[in-house]
Amino acid sequence: MLQTKKTLLDRLSPLICFAALLAIPAAGGAALLLLVTIPRFEYGLMALLLAIAEIITLVCLFGMVLLLRFCLKRPGAPRGFYRTILDFLAMANWSPTVIVACAGLLVLPALWLRSVERDLMFLFSFHGWRAYKVSGDFRDDIDRLAVAYQLVLMGGVPLLFCLHLFSRWQPQRRVLAWLLLPVLFIATAVSVVVLGTIAHFANN
């Protein structure tokens, strides 16, 4: 009986991998677009429903990543360029350079907001999470943080994927991969400015 289950899973793994190849980017894009709905959940019923949809999307995305990681450990897992793409989507077998770059993309927006919005940390230290209810400025800061993550991830994830490809295709050039980190962050900052400018003019 156990052997039958393993065989069935092995047969389903290629289909799951292909589905994940399409579903994870789609879910990630939807989660990114809906990211600003979480700090705006008090703006009305529609905003609340969108915030709930964002949370559900994030949970599904997390589940798909875990399922893909499990399938990639199966004996018949894909190889070659296809496996390289799936590893990136599953956040599996990343090189240390890619891991550091990803951590930088996640941390830098928060550090930027902390440096330019010093009252945010003061309000949080004084009120805790109650600051969201007692201060409109705090809500605006959280909203700006969500927008910052939107722009950084929209501009940075494609660059992160390129770094992932480089680290796979040129594993012997580890020093060069580390030297590319500042280039990735600078390019991400430029893309944030460009995307922010486009969004600004599109809303006016």
Condensed to tens digits (0 to 9), the pLDDT of residues 139-157 reads 677 777 888 899 999 999 9
Tokens read off for 129: 């999470």
Is residue 42 scored above 80 in pLDDT? no
Q: How many CB atoms within 10 Å of residue 78?
A: 19
* DSSP character at residue 64: H
| pLDDT more than 90, % of the chain | 50
Residue 88 amino acid letter: F
Q: How many CB atoms within 10 Å of residue 20?
A: 21
| Crossing angle of helices 174-202 and 96-116, rounded to 10° | 40
Taking the whole predicted model, whether its pTM rises above 0.75 is answered as yes
Kind and range of the H or E element at 198? helix 174-202
State pLDDT tens for residues 87-129: 999 999 999 999 999 999 999 887 777 666 556 555 555 555 5
Q: SS3 for 110?
A: helix
Tokens read off for 181: 């980190």
Q: Name the nearest CA neighbour of 36 among 51, 26, 24.
A: 51
Q: Which residue has the higher pLDDT, 116 or 163?
A: 163
Is residue 48 scored above 80 in pLDDT? yes
